[in-house]
Chain A
Amino acid sequence: MTIDRFEGDYAVLETDEGMVNIHRAHLPSSAREGDVVTYSNGGFSIDREATDDLRAEVREKLHRLLTGNND
């Protein structure tokens, strides 16, 4: 699951079942938009490694598409 955004007291998560609202208080206070989170043992935690890997993949693709248009 990925945190798409925060809306007031809610966090909006992108999940396999679609977009889901949860109360922001259920997430670690350090959670940021774009963080990959996992749910286990009744709580959410941030998967930093998965977040960094995914971000690197998207960044590479985005930069390649943007650069390609400046040729």
Chain B
Amino acid sequence: MCFALTFVPKQPVYPAEGEMQVHFIDVGQGDCIYIAAGTENMLIDCGEADESVRAVGYLRDMGVKRLDYVVGTHPHSDHMGGMDNIINAFEIGEFIIPHLDDEDIPTTSYFLRFLDAAEKHGVKLTEAVTGSEFTVGDAHCEIIAPNSDKYEDINNYSVGIVVRHGSRSFIFTGDAEGVAEREMIDGGRLGRVNVYKVGHHGSSSSSTAAFLGVIRPEVAVISCGAGNPYGHPTDAVIKRLSAYTDNIYRTDLCGNIVITSDGSSLRVSAERSSR
């Protein structure tokens, strides 16, 4: 007796109709966020080179083969260290990076590997245009930062994005610090958001009181590594956040965190229960 073996290609796992999923992928001390709505998707950052391998596995397990948008918020290894791995693993629609002043062009090997991979695969590389808008399925994305051509600190070049899905909204600001947060406020594009991906892993240089006073988040997600040497997240930021919300989720404690929007409400699920 023999059995016919049928190989069924894995189908991409899209969110249910009308829903958007935002995955905060645990990449240790770094950022990696995957957003899917309808049949389109976007990746924001990928973590360190070795951690990005885990991110590739996570995405492949969901059947992801193509990324419509990839955003490298700013050229630091904990955000873009493994972008060559991402480019080598997935078809990419458009890759967005911030404009960098010539004096601030990175000199790191991982950034060169990223450029080489982009060149090899013919990836469309573009600079973020603040104020520009695009859609990911039925989610509406607006680039709100950077707002200057030159900064003292690379963190402040971070591409900032507000993603709106129905009446629910998310804000991602990379590692933008107080200077860039102030510019976002002054840019007039900010309002209350439901979910805040806490800037710079909870460093006290970000999440200023003025910024939080404008976005007034309901839910905060901190992407950071257990026992990181930088003290992220800082007690100061946890205290500032707690003026607005007690719903603070951390990847170092919860692992992967997924927030699903149906356009009017949110559901949070996490790999581990502790916040």
Contact = CB atoms under 8 A, between A and B. Distances in A.
A and B: bona fide binding partners? yes
B119 A65 contact: yes
A14 B108 contact: yes
B260 to A, nearest CB: 32
B125 A66 contact: yes
B230 to A, nearest CB: 4
A19 B225 CA distance: 15
Contacts of A51: 107
Given A2-B107, A7-B230, A55-B105, A65 B77 contact: no
B102 interface: yes
Interface in B109-134: 109-112, 115-116, 118-119, 124-127
B76 A61 contact: no
DSSP class of A's interface residues: helix, strand, loop or mixed? mixed
B230 A62 contact: no
Contacts of B57: none
B115 A58 contact: yes
Interface residues of B, number: 32
A59 B104 contact: no
Contacts of A35: 107
Contact of B125 (A5, A55, A69): A69
Given A59-B102, A65-B115, A66-B125, A8 B107 contact: no
A61 B119 contact: yes
A38 interface: no
Contacts of B127: 66
Q: Which 9 A-B pairs have the closest CB atoms?
A: A54-B107, A7-B230, A59-B105, A34-B107, A65-B125, A5-B76, A14-B108, A61-B115, A4-B77
Given A33-B104, A54-B107, A66-B125, 19 more contacts: A2-B107, A2-B109, A5-B76, A5-B77, A7-B203, A7-B229, A10-B229, A10-B230, A33-B153, A34-B105, A34-B106, A34-B107, A36-B107, A55-B102, A55-B107, A58-B112, A61-B112, A62-B105, A66-B127
A54 B109 CA distance: 10
Interface of B: 48, 50, 76-77, 81, 100, 102-112, 115-116, 118-119, 124-127, 153-155, 203, 229-231
10 contacts: A2-B107, A4-B77, A5-B76, A5-B155, A8-B231, A14-B109, A58-B106, A58-B111, A65-B125, A69-B124
Interface of A: 2, 4-8, 10, 12, 14, 18-19, 21, 33-36, 51, 54-55, 57-59, 61-62, 65-66, 69
B77 A14 contact: yes
B170 to A, nearest CB: 25
A65 B155 CA distance: 23
Contact of A58 (B81, B105, B126): B105
A21 B77 CA distance: 12
B79 to A, nearest CB: 10
A37 B106 CA distance: 14
Contacts of A18: 50
